Amino acid sequence: MLHSKTFSKKTRGGKVQKLVREVYLRDDIYCGASFCKVCDTSAARFTASASTILVLDTNVVLNQIDLLENPAIEDVVVLSVVLQEVKNKNTAVYNRIRALCSNPARKFFVFSNEFHRDTYVQNMTGESPNDRNDRAIRVATRWYQSHLGDAVKVLLITNDRENKKKATEEGVSAETIESYVKSLGQPALLDLLAQPASEDIIMEEVEDLRPSKRKVVYPEHKPMSEITAGLTSGIYHQGKLRVNRYNPFEAYVGSESIGDEIVVYGRGNMNRAFDGDIVAVEILPQDQWREDESLSIADEDDDNEEVHLVPSSADDAPRTTNSVSGSASDTNPISGRPCGRVIGIIKRNWHSYCGSLEPMPMPAGSGGLVYALFVSKDRRIPKIRIQTRQLENLLDKRIIVAVDSWDRQSRYPSGHYVRSIGEIGDRDTETEVVLIENDIDARPFSAQVLACLPPLPWSVSEQDLVNPIRTDLRHLRVFSVDPPGCKDIDDALHCMMLPNGNFEVGVHIADVTNFVHPGTPLDDEATQRGTSVYLVERRIDMLPKPLTEDICSLRADVERLAFSVIWEMTPEAEIISTRYIKSVIKSCAALSYVEAQARMDDSRLMDPVTKDLRNMNTLAKTMRQRRIERGALTLASAEVKFQIDTETHDPLDIGMYQIREANQMVEEFMLAANVSVAEQILKHFPGCSLLRRHPTPTKDMLEPLLRTAASVGLNLDISSSKALADSLDHAVSDDPYFNKLIRIMATRCMTQAVYFCSGDLSPPEFHHYGLAAPLYTHFTSPIRRYADVIVHRLLAASLEIYKLPTIFRDRPQQTSIADNLNYRHRNAQMASRGSVELHTLIYFRKRPIDTEARIVKIRSNGFIVFVPKYGIEGPVYLTPRGEKGGGEWFVDEQQQKIKKMDGSLSYGILQAVKIHLEVVEPQPNRPKLQLTLL
């Protein structure tokens, strides 16, 4: 049956256009009930014994998605009209409901009512689209009831009063979600209900009881029409609000229209916007710029500095511009940055947050409905008010909460409980929190993914050996050097003296793409995960274990498939020629860094492997020297390593990660391999290569480094990476640790390197600042990074071994893959840091300690210290909390010193101090590290 759908649409130019679309109405759309006698039941979803089938209204899906995800809700019909409406309003919810519908374990069935002959609804004259859709939902519900007969009850779930009324009039049974959930008799489910903005009856009661609470806290958001008009006329500016990770009362809106960041101080000016929301901002008059800041800090009720790991790059570090907070002498800086206030929110970025409830006294009658405040672990998120009936269960738990609304009258947004993770302070719980916060998928691999693996036990087959694309390199003396206990060995090396005095050096990388084929579930999963995540006590793999630890791992004395880069090098380490081949290798030794180092150092050893090692080390040193001359930066990081108790998984010892010559040697060859591969793939695929770049830091970013350096009388030249590297080399004093400190501080001023698609940028932008290389990519760790898998495919295609997978022809998709890789990469790093922070806390819980620390930043009431031994950073207060900018101390901006008024004591930057480190619990279940001056 054919129908025409006619509707009018406004074009972008403002013209009204009439559009005509065909609609083919079908009789082959089935109801999804396995007990149905008329329909084809092959795609049926509902349980055979279903007594009630639910039909959801759009508002229910939009607001109650957390409840729908609970397994208690089943036998649900999702109408295509509902899906369409949800998609238009909120893509995140749409994706979640789609995931539910495609999950065979859940009994959610999509009924395409818009194309069914009996449920298609023609638009009536004068009927609004909303009313038409509501009617379509009712028609579909009625069809279900008559189709399935009296055997089951078909229930329309709607929170729209009008719709419910009409449904009852038409003889369709309808209920609100609240009454339906109540009828299920599971009180825990009630907590999952989102509280719709103040229409709710319970809320109204509260209003009567506590009228004082209901005064207007926030200014009203401007209507959308006014915002659009303001944006086009340039009064308002649109951008994504980013809240300062270290001071939740300060946010930035990057605005394209003024080409600068607009600073928003205080919750009042932020006007209910969350981190990540797209907002419209109005710029405040110039005399109000920066004034609100002191107010906002006074407003704050908890401390704003915590002990944390040393940031490893500018992306993790706190914004520095205001870190020298509100001292009176502060006259010049920042006033150049415009301040603004949020006048409207264009797009919300609400999702669910991980945290815990603020401790509160238990109300008298337990089990009743109480309000509680939820504090997110992410400090950028304000407290969220939730309703719960199970307060006693949740108080000492880590829970997940979703935000529903934030109206003008309430200080905090209101939300609802989603699920609990476990006890606060428990290591497993806290690890899971770290994973959830960083959006890391730690679930075991699905059966489809595991089905893509080759059968075990796997070994190199005859076929592989005779395959013309593969070269047999089993005769070469290949060995690997990795951290001790490494199971996923993805690189191995060989070095051979040639008759002409040159060296043949080979880097052999596990041939992962021989097992991971594009378009398979295994590949899709790896694309999503992007990288393996290394936590202190566990590893979350990107690829399933049989691949990472066995089939691909280049272990000693077994034949393995590899992708090799082989150079001929002069003794001066000049590359004469480069070959790229797929190969079969047999590693003769899997050394650890320590072993390799010991062999090189032990002059009595003269076995072939040791000789190879020494030759390679000589070459690597030359290469390294040349790289440094080119201007590569030697940066330092404060990485720490834990010794973990094998049984309890508790940290036993903690110390800095030691870097040996052997590490540097391996690193050097890996860098060289990456650079060679980058050149090769870019030559063949200039438009679709995946490369890695490191943007040159701007002057603003290096500002804090310069300020610190200047205060200790050091002059750094930042005009180029070469200049910076040189001046870092010259930064020496009688203090042996001084140089490393400066390097650590330089590292944190840099942004991170990122993956990108070569077609998206112009060649000068490909530059890698830190390595001083014009081209760079990742090729050497395909077991744990997906970027390397992509690069392997590109390299294979450039050698015409394989065809280039279709995905490389799709630029937008490739860009989105690169973006995802960057996101996953960053999250993996954040998760590792989170895990280290967690274990540091566990470690010091039992071992308070006195140690030496360095001052890295001066504040008005104390200073921030860095503890080199444990790689942590945190505040030390000179004045008790609460007396901000205390009277007896004053800060000398110029010299970066804090002095006592009587001049008896003064602390300067980089000065060593003795501190006491211990774990305190200011509030029950909220342990944290505290540093105090000795």
Partner 1 sequence: MEYVSPEGLRLDGRRPMEMRQLRAQIGAVAKADGSAVFEMGNTKVIAAVYGPREVQNRSQQIGDQALVRCEYSMANFSTGDRKRKPKGDRRSTEISLVIRQTMEACILTHLMPRSQIDIYVQVLQADGGTRSACINAATLALADAGIPMHDLVTSCSAGYLNSTPLLDLNYVEDSAGGPDITVGILPKLDKVTLLQMDAKLPVDIFENVMQLAIEGCKAIATYIGEVLLENTKQLEYRKGL
> What is the DSSP annotation of 329-346?
T--STTTTS-BEEEEEEE
CB of 62 to partner 1, least distance (A): 18
Rank residues 18 and 210 by Cβ distance to partner 1 and give the closer one.
18
Query: Of 480, 474, 473, which is closest to residue 612 (Cα–Cα)?
Result: 480
CB of 44 to partner 1, least distance (A): 13
Query: Of 271, 284, 285, 282, which is closest to residue 238 (Cα–Cα)?
Result: 282
CB of 798 to partner 1, least distance (A): 17
Is residue 865 within 8 Å of residue 914, measured between CB atoms? no
Is residue 385 within 8 Å of residue 414, measured between CB atoms? yes
The residue type at 487 = K
Rank residues 19 and 328 by Cβ distance to partner 1 and give the closer one.
19
Rank residues 523 and 873 by Cβ distance to partner 1 and give the closer one.
523
Query: Of 846, 901, 851, which is closest to residue 876 (Cα–Cα)?
Result: 851
Task: Name residue, tokens 């013209």.
Answer: 15
Q: Which two tokens stand for residue 156?
A: 């329309």
Task: Name residue, tokens 């900018």.
Answer: 885
Q: Find the binding residues for partner 1 in span 252-311 (CB under 8 A).
A: none
Rank residues 98 and 722 by Cβ distance to partner 1 and give the closer one.
98
The correct pick among 34, 41, 112, 288 for binding partner 1 (CB under 8 A) is: 112
The correct pick among 161, 809, 811, 847 for binding partner 1 (CB under 8 A) is: 809
SS3 state at 299: helix
CB of 362 to partner 1, least distance (A): 47
> For residue 647, with 0-12 CB atoms within 10 Å meaning exposed, 13-18 middle and 19 or more buried, which class applies?
exposed
Q: How far apart are CA 738 and CA 874, in angstroms?
A: 19
Helices (H), 688-810: 699-711, 721-730, 738-747, 786-798
Q: How far apart are CA 65 and CA 81, in angstroms?
A: 17
Q: How far apart are CA 860 and CA 325, in angstroms?
A: 7
CB of 380 to partner 1, least distance (A): 33
CB of 454 to partner 1, least distance (A): 23
Count Cβ atoms below 10 Å from residue 410 Cβ, excluding itself.
18
Q: Find the binding residues for partner 1 in span 79-98 (CB under 8 A).
A: 80, 98
Using CB under 8 A as the binding rule, whether residue 105 contacts partner 1 is answered as no
Query: Phi, psi at residue 773, to the nearest 5°?
Result: -120, 135
Q: How far apart are CA 731 and CA 709, in angstroms?
A: 9
The residue type at 725 = A
Is residue 557 within 8 Å of residue 588, measured between CB atoms? yes
Rank residues 65 and 100 by Cβ distance to partner 1 and give the closer one.
100
Binding mask 141-170 for partner 1 (x = CB under 8 A): ------------------------------
Rank residues 448 and 806 by Cβ distance to partner 1 and give the closer one.
806
Rank residues 15 and 37 by Cβ distance to partner 1 and give the closer one.
15
Using CB under 8 A as the binding rule, whether residue 4 contacts partner 1 is answered as yes
CB of 603 to partner 1, least distance (A): 58
CB of 179 to partner 1, least distance (A): 31
Is residue 83 within 8 Å of residue 107, measured between CB atoms? no
Q: Find the binding residues for partner 1 in span 208-247 (CB under 8 A).
A: none
Rank residues 20 and 124 by Cβ distance to partner 1 and give the closer one.
20
Rank residues 91 and 658 by Cβ distance to partner 1 and give the closer one.
91
Rank residues 338 and 518 by Cβ distance to partner 1 and give the closer one.
518
Is residue 901 within 8 Å of residue 889, measured between CB atoms? yes
SS3 state at 149: helix
Q: State the Cα angle at 466 between 465 and 469, rounded to 5°.
A: 90
Is residue 485 within 8 Å of residue 546, measured between CB atoms? no
Helices (H) and strands (E) in the chain, counts: 26, 38
Rank residues 168 and 446 by Cβ distance to partner 1 and give the closer one.
446
Say if strands 503-510 and 491-497 run parallel, antiparallel, or are unpaired.
Answer: antiparallel
Rank residues 163 and 513 by Cβ distance to partner 1 and give the closer one.
513
CB of 421 to partner 1, least distance (A): 31
Q: Among the candidate windows 319-327, 561-569, 803-811, 835-843, which touches partner 1 by CB under 8 A?
A: 803-811
Rank residues 55 and 746 by Cβ distance to partner 1 and give the closer one.
55
* Half-sphere CA count of 521, side-chain side, radius 13 A: 10
The correct pick among 130, 286, 461, 806 for binding partner 1 (CB under 8 A) is: 806
SS3 state at 19: strand
Q: Which two tokens stand for residue 695?
A: 């943007």
CB of 77 to partner 1, least distance (A): 13
Q: How far apart are CA 825 and CA 680, in angstroms?
A: 24
Q: Which two tokens stand for residue 709?
A: 């350096």
Q: Find the binding residues for partner 1 in span 827-846 (CB under 8 A).
A: none
Rank residues 44 and 505 by Cβ distance to partner 1 and give the closer one.
44
CB of 78 to partner 1, least distance (A): 10
Q: Among the candidate windows 110-118, 342-350, 664-672, 750-758, which touches partner 1 by CB under 8 A?
A: 110-118
What are residue 691's DSSP bridge partners? 756
Rank residues 5 and 847 by Cβ distance to partner 1 and give the closer one.
5
Size of the site for partner 1 (CB under 8 A): 24
Q: Among the candidate windows 112-120, 266-274, 326-334, 816-824, which touches partner 1 by CB under 8 A?
A: 112-120
Query: Of 262, 195, 200, 251, which is closest to residue 412 (Cα–Cα)?
Result: 195
Q: Find the binding residues for partner 1 in span 5-44 (CB under 8 A).
A: 15, 17-26
CB of 104 to partner 1, least distance (A): 13
CB of 115 to partner 1, least distance (A): 4
CB of 415 to partner 1, least distance (A): 30
Rank residues 16 and 466 by Cβ distance to partner 1 and give the closer one.
16
What are residue 563's DSSP bridge partners? 509, 582
Q: Among the candidate windows 111-119, 312-320, 680-688, 704-712, which touches partner 1 by CB under 8 A?
A: 111-119
Question: Could you tell me how many residues make up the chain?
Answer: 934
* Half-sphere CA count of 579, side-chain side, radius 13 A: 13
Q: Among the candidate windows 239-247, 260-268, 802-810, 884-892, which touches partner 1 by CB under 8 A?
A: 802-810
Using CB under 8 A as the binding rule, whether residue 324 contacts partner 1 is answered as no
Binding mask 559-598 for partner 1 (x = CB under 8 A): ----------------------------------------
Provide the binding-site residues for partner 1, judged by CB under 8 A.
Answer: 2, 4, 15, 17-26, 80, 98, 101-102, 110, 112, 114-115, 803, 806, 809
